[in-house]
Amino acid sequence: MEIKITTRKAHLSETFKDRAQKKLDHLDNFFYEENVVANIVASSEKERETIELTIKAGSLILRAQKTTSNFIESFDMALSAIMKQLFKNKTKLGKRLKVKAYDNNYDELLDTYDKDIDDLEEFKIVKNKKFIIKPMSAQEAILQMNLIGHEFYLFKDDNTYELNIIYRRHDDTYGLIEAATSDDGYHQ
């Protein structure tokens, strides 16, 4: 597994990097893909240290972000959240993951990461909406989203005519998701 570490107003010790490498190496057993990439973004603000952990294996993306008073605890909690995602959705992920990884280490990993993991029932779609998508700018999409009181808004960009999604982030800023047709434009 390739590990990429980015820091923002933070410094990570070699101990942290070695620990992260060892723990993430265990995840290699779950993926068929050879080129699994783990991105760790560490940021520090006052006494809050945040780790954002994103794992990309083919088209599968797992992400968790945790904030505590130290980077090691934040990393452990983020990794635990990733493991919960893997265990909760193991039947949904089907052939994307190696089944033997669950069989060999399931009880041990379950004890290590969390005791209350249960398989989820089928995903339920409780509402279906259709609407006409009109070309508009990202600023207009934000306005429309705020007017209807939603957390995200699907729109067609008025310059490129591509479908995009504008969304409200946890810190009350906005994000824009643009569809990429190849890995060249892909960003996490």
Q: Do residues 35 and 15 lie in contact, with contact meaning Cβ atoms separated by under 8 Å?
A: no
Q: Could you give the residue range(s) of every CATH 3.30.160.100 domain in the chain?
A: 2-113
The reported pTM is 0.60
Give tens-digit pLDDT for 104-152. 454 555 455 444 445 445 667 888 888 888 899 999 999 998 888 889 9
What pLDDT is recorded for position 158?
Answer: 92
If phi > 0 it is left, if psi is from -120 to 50 it is alpha, else beta; for residue 125 that is: beta
Average per-residue pLDDT for the chain = 80
- Whether the per-residue pLDDT at 89 is higher than 70: the answer is no
Give tens-digit pLDDT for 150-183. 899 999 999 988 999 999 988 889 999 998 766 5
- Of 73, 84, 79, whose CA–CA distance to 114 is shortest? 84
Assign domain 135-185 one CATH number from 3.30.505.50, 3.20.80.10, 3.40.50.620, 3.40.50.300.
Answer: 3.30.505.50
Determine what percent of the chain is predicted with pLDDT higher than 70. Answer: 77
Question: 2-113 adopts what CATH topology?
Answer: Double Stranded RNA Binding Domain (3.30.160)
Q: Could you give the residue range(s) of every CATH 3.30.505.50 domain in the chain?
A: 135-185
